[in-house]
Structure 1
Amino acid sequence: MGIVRVLVDGYSLLHFWPELAQGKPRHSFYARDALVSVLTQYQDASGMPVTVIFDGGGAPPGTPKNESAKSGIEVLFSKKGQTADQVIERVAHLMKPYGEVMAVTNDYAERETVISLGGTACSCESFIQMIDDHVGGMHGSLAELNKRERKGYRRPR
């Protein structure tokens, strides 16, 4: 079976990717929003559903525990006293009958746990490279398509 969902440890990826929301705290709305925006582009380019999980202790008061962003990315916050790792493990276990999940985290023990549950895992560094490859490839393909289309609409002057 193939990968059916990508599970991202949100704060783990944000801490590894400081360029994403430069000058903003890693636990801020702006940093989370920037991450969701990039993950939306990745989901659109790869066709793979993405769920990003943040530790609930970092969620501002009044933030829903489970929300679907406008972009179609599923955004989850763990409950108080629970970690994003625990949510990732639970989802990996629940999704096992449907196929593999891929966990994105820099926590080695968490990656090994997901692998033992039948999923796959990758480091934040590897995932950032995958995002660059997919999204960059999509932008290149669109630019080439637009260039070809423009040629078809040229009129003699």
Structure 2
Amino acid sequence: MRKAYLFVDGYNIIGDWPELKALSDSDLESARDLLIEKMAEYQAYTGTSVTIVFDAHMVPGTGKKYRHYDLDIVFTKEKETADERIEKLVIERKRVDRQIYVATSDFVEQRVIFASGAYRKSARELRTEVEQIEKGIQQSVAETKQKKAKTKLPIDEEMAEIFEKWRRGKR
């Protein structure tokens, strides 16, 4: 089985998804956190290894990388764009046994991605996938709750108390 990787241009996605864009207008950090949470669900559900790359121009500094929710989160160096870092990551991870996707709606970046052998996902495609995953998770939770409700024995309080005493080893 081929290992799948998804590199996400963080601010590009935030700028494209309406709920993230609206949130970022008042609280950019919360918009980043929400994107990270959604991508963590995506990774857990699909098994695809996700790396989110944020441009340094929004958060000045020397660049850093850390793990959160088992995701790789990268803030580029000050004069490096997310596109440049993603291109490097694609080249580093490119192997025959790997499928590499890049989520961005940047047209120039999409052309570079194709040239390097990766597949692209537009921000809209990724959002649709995330929405489907969220629906799938909600459905799984509902089904699990329903199964648990059906397995409960219909017994009265007195019998439940007797069983509880037996369980605790009291007679």
For normalisation by structure 1, the TM-score amounts to: 0.88
The equivalences for 1:97-108 within 5 A come to 97=95, 98-108=97-107
Q: Does 1:134 align with 2:137?
A: no
Q: Shift of the alpha carbon at 1:84?
A: 0.2
The equivalences for 1:5-154 within 5 A come to 5-20=5-20, 22-25=22-25, 28-59=28-59, 65-69=64-68, 71-97=69-95, 98-154=97-153
Q: Shift of the alpha carbon at 1:156?
A: 3.3
Q: Which residue of structure 2 aligns with residue 156 of structure 1?
A: 155
CA distance in 2, matches of 1:36, 1:7: 12
Letter paired with 2:129:
M
CA distance in 2, matches of 1:103, 1:23: 23
SS at match of 1:25: helix
SS at match of 2:125: helix
Q: Would the alpha carbon gap of residues 119 and 26 (structure 1) be closer, same or farther in structure 2, given more than 3 Å must change? A: farther
SS at match of 1:79: coil
Letter paired with 2:71:
I
CA distance in 1, matches of 2:37, 2:84: 24
CA distance in 2, matches of 1:64, 1:79: 4
CA distance in 1, matches of 2:135, 2:98: 27
8 Å Cα contact 2:63-2:76 kept in structure 1: no
**Unaligned ranges ≥5, structure 2:** 157-171
Aligned residues: 155
Q: Shift of the alpha carbon at 1:65?
A: 1.0
8 Å Cα contact 2:76-2:82 kept in structure 1: yes
8 Å Cα contact 1:27-1:58 kept in structure 2: no
SS at match of 1:67: strand
CA distance in 2, matches of 1:27, 1:118: 36
CA distance in 2, matches of 1:30, 1:5: 25
Q: Which has the greater radius of gyration? A: 2
Letter paired with 2:87:
E
CA distance in 2, matches of 1:56, 1:27: 17
8 Å Cα contact 1:6-1:50 kept in structure 2: yes
Letter paired with 1:126:
E
For normalisation by structure 2, the TM-score amounts to: 0.82
CA distance in 2, matches of 1:44, 1:26: 29
Q: Percent identity?
A: 26
